[in-house]
Amino acid sequence: MRPCRFYALNTGKEGFKCEFEEQEHSLFLRYRTNKDFIELNRFCNKFCPRFADCVKLADETFRSFRKANVVVNTFGDGRLEVVVYNEPFKVLEQVVNDKSDHSRNFTLVNMDFLVPRKENATPTKLRKTVYRAGKRAFDQFTGYARSNKWDYFFTFTFSPSIVPDRANLFVVRELWRKFQLKLKRLDPGCRILIAPEPHHDGARHYHALMCFSHDLPIVDYGDLSKLPQRTCTGGPDKGKSGFCTFDKYGQFTCLPKAPYKLFLVPYYNYGELQCSKLGDPLFCLNVYPYGINSSAIMPGDDTNQAKVARYVSAYMLKDGNSQYNQKRFMRTQNVKGKTKSTMLLNDDELQQLLAGANLQEFKSTEKLTVFRNFDLTTAPSLVPLSERMKR
């Protein structure tokens, strides 16, 4: 048996106490003649009640790891996802007296370029940091997206005539913050999860998963022939005429009168109702002031919810979002997240977990296998549009 390393480092120091003084002292006397003992001995009694105090008094850092091979993600409503890895991995279990430097490796100067702050701030270190940040953001965003039921999938753009500096990330974020506060004032119960999508010209629009305290009413324009008409002068729609929900500057042409503070209007372009690639009709939120917006109403089944979550989550890893010290997504505080836990299970314990939660294999790769207990096969149809339209 070896004496505790931290007892050897602290013995004789003022204020030092040990719960196992007699035992540790006799061991220390036995080994102290070895001049390399303090440097080489790594044994420590991490279960001692005074262990953390000993580490701090020695002015050292202690880290302990454990092995795991299973990750359990809980998304709420009884939905579980179990990821089984073929090879065990290490999980940080405890850190005492962390003395590592957590400050930034780089500093952003004039919102334009990065300046190294440390000797190890190399391009390789930067690429590794950005990559790891993207993986963490992807995992977190997926957890938020799948732990909530979403009613609407919005796309918000910034018109150059309304927001001339739409390529300036700081300007766009501030505008989005103000718009989000406006939505929270109109409906304190609304939940929002958004991810940016960069354009080739540096500007960006936002994809947003949203739900409100109640279904937003849809207010139709009525007779389109009585509304302002536009004629397309170029592009694939050249020569078409009709009512457009938005004018050429990205502002609402007009909004129908409605006794609601928040409502949707059908998205018309030259007299034609716009639809998504899947054929669902698109709508526009009446209070967005910075450009064109469009929305599709999402079915509540797991299949469509998961498809949209995967689609938007992919933007966490896009090159245009892979910048140092940059938020990859934003959310309101009332968005629920997943619960994640790790464990080390043998084959029998794993089979008991899978059978007890009725988990079925979802996919398998060379490194891992994913099991789920929520259904991703059936997709109920949308509520008929005629039932939601309100004049």
Range of the domain at 175: 152-297
Question: Is the domain of 142 the same as that of 186?
Answer: no
Question: Is the domain of 157 the same as that of 224?
Answer: yes
Question: Of 264, 297, 330, which closes a domain?
Answer: 297
Residue 136 lies in a domain: yes
Alpha-carbon gap, residue 183 to 229, rounded angstroms: 30
Question: Is the domain of 290 the same as that of 178?
Answer: yes
The pLDDT tens digits for 353-364 are 999 888 999 889
Give the HSE-up count for residue 178: Cα atoms under 13 Å, Cβ half-sphere: 9
Compute the average pLDDT of residues 79-90.
94
Give the HSE-up count for residue 366: Cα atoms under 13 Å, Cβ half-sphere: 0
Number of structural domains (the chain) is 3
- pLDDT computed for residue 243 by the predictor: 94
The answer, yes or no, to whether residue 380 has pLDDT greater than 60, is no
Question: Is the domain of 140 the same as that of 202?
Answer: no
Question: Is the domain of 89 the same as that of 32?
Answer: no
Q: In the chain, what percentage of residues exceed pLDDT 70?
A: 92
Geometric angle at alpha carbon 192, from 159 and 200, rounded to 5° = 35
Decide the pairing of beta strands 230-231 and 268-269: unpaired
Question: Is the domain of 141 the same as that of 164?
Answer: no
Q: In the chain, what percentage of residues exceed pLDDT 90?
A: 46
Alpha-carbon gap, residue 147 to 10, rounded angstroms: 48
Residue 266 lies in a domain: yes
Give the HSE-up count for residue 373: Cα atoms under 13 Å, Cβ half-sphere: 18
- pLDDT computed for residue 131 by the predictor: 86
Question: Is the domain of 104 the same as that of 175?
Answer: no
The pLDDT tens digits for 124-159 are 888 888 888 888 888 999 999 999 999 999 999 999
Residue 320 pLDDT level (bands cut at 50, 70, 90): low
Alpha-carbon gap, residue 188 to 334, rounded angstroms: 10
Question: Is the domain of 52 the same as that of 71?
Answer: no
- Which residues on neighbouring strands pair with residue 194, listed in sequence order? 208, 330
Residue 118 pLDDT level (bands cut at 50, 70, 90): confident
Average model confidence (pLDDT) across the chain: 86
